[in-house]
């Protein structure tokens, strides 16, 4: 099959072994990928994050072509949760499978991803896509679920002042999710064109620049979604004493952190990663989240390398690979 392969570099392999050539593992489904989205994490993998080698891509929608142990999935359009847990460790038994130390992660850790004609995933990780949700919308389920996760971890009250730092792909989705809580919300970013997408939905925005990276202070909750050292520093300046700082980005490298500021101001730091797919699908089905304006480019799989290069251009929002 065709696959975008990350090994010593990034390339298109037209003869990559199909995942079902030697049969499927028990409990796994063969998914024919229809569409995949390029995420910032994919770009970080190219820079060395997680030392990944294989087929990247974890935002996808596809059709199940075979699932011997759960044949009711066959023919259904699906998205899939990306963490495949062992099911036997203490974390798995405690319901924390996303933190299983032995887990594989689609397109990120020990498991090939979606930038290919086919992929495999355990049936337990699949979610059926409702008919009203288009393929374009379904591609956003994984990052939208990550945005929803914030509301699962932090009680966001309508009376609270909330700042989202970052106007990129994830920041856009986080802003739309938090706007549903009725909080006093402001999105801070460096790209007027991106902020205008949110302003069109009635969300307050603020343009920051390098001379004033922290234009707001005293926020009850700050969500850092830039994935940069400067973004973390700015977020720490914006949050009030005893406030909460949610970190949503993963990136290659170790940032310098002002731990004394966190201790003295008693700032609560919340790491936030994957989230509930069922909630994300429901928001899309009900039309509460709009994702189409975030799509800026489309590439066929044969031009998958060019798709990732385009996604790496500064200021780019979502790039889709159509399979």
Domains of the chain: 3-140+291-322 (3.90.180.10), 144-271 (3.40.50.720)
The pLDDT, as a whole number, for residue 280 is: 98
**Cα angle, residue 28 at apex, residues 23 and 31 outer, rounded to 5°:** 85
Nearest partner of 18 among 36, 4, 1, 35, judged by Cα: 1
Least confident of 84-98, 254-268, 309-323: 254-268
Kindly state the average pLDDT of the residues 260-282.
96
Tens of pLDDT along 211-235? 787 889 999 999 999 988 889 899 9
**Per-residue pLDDT at 182 exceeds 90:** yes
Tens of pLDDT along 140-157? 999 999 999 999 999 999
The pLDDT, as a whole number, for residue 163 is: 98
pLDDT band at residue 251 using 50, 70 and 90 as cut-offs: low
The pLDDT, as a whole number, for residue 123 is: 97
Q: Please, what's the b/e burial string for 3-26 (b: 16 or more CB within 10 A of its CB; e: otherwise)?
A: bbbbeeebebeeebebbbeeeeee
Kindly state the average pLDDT of the residues 238-248.
97
Does the global pTM surpass 0.85? yes
Nearest partner of 163 among 244, 228, 280, judged by Cα: 244
The pLDDT, as a whole number, for residue 23 is: 87
pLDDT band at residue 250 using 50, 70 and 90 as cut-offs: confident
pLDDT band at residue 110 using 50, 70 and 90 as cut-offs: very high
Residue 45 tokens read as 């993998």
């Amino acid at each position: 099959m065709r696959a975008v392969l990350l090994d010593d570099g990034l390339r298109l392999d037209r003869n990559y072994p199909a995942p079902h050539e030697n049969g499927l593992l028990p409990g796994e489904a063969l998914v024919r990928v229809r569409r995949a989205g390029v995420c910032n994490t994919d770009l970080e993998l190219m820079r060395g994050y997680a030392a990944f080698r294989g087929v990247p891509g974890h935002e996808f929608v596809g059709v199940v072509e075979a699932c011997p142990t759960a044949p009711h999935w066959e023919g259904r359009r699906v998205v899939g949760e990306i963490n495949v847990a062992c099911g036997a460790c203490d974390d798995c038994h405690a319901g924390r499978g996303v933190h299983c130390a032995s887990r594989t992660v689609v397109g990120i850790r020990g498991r090939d991803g979606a930038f290919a004609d086919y992929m495999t995933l355990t049936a337990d990780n699949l979610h059926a896509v409702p008919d009203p949700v288009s393929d374009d919308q379904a591609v956003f389920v994984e990052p939208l679920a990550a945005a929803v996760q914030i509301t699962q971890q932090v009680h966001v009250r309508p009376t609270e002042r909330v700042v989202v730092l970052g106007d990129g792909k994830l920041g856009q989705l986080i802003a739309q999710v938090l706007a549903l809580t009725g909080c006093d919300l402001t999105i801070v970013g460096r790209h007027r064109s991106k902020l205008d997408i949110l302003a069109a939905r009635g969300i307050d925005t603020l343009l920051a620049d390098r001379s004033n990276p922290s234009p707001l202070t005293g926020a009850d909750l700050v969500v850092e979604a830039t994935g940069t050292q400067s973004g973390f520093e700015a977020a720490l300046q914006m949050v009030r004493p005893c406030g909460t700082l949610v970190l949503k980005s993963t990136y290659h490298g170790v940032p310098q952190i002002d731990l004394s500021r966190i201790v003295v101001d008693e700032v609560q730091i919340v790491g936030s990663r994957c989230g509930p797919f069922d909630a994300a699908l429901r928001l899309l089905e009900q039309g509460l989240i709009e994702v189409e304006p975030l799509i800026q480019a489309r590439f066929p799989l044969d031009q998958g390398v060019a798709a990732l290069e385009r996604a790496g251009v500064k200021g780019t929002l979502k790039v889709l690979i159509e399979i």
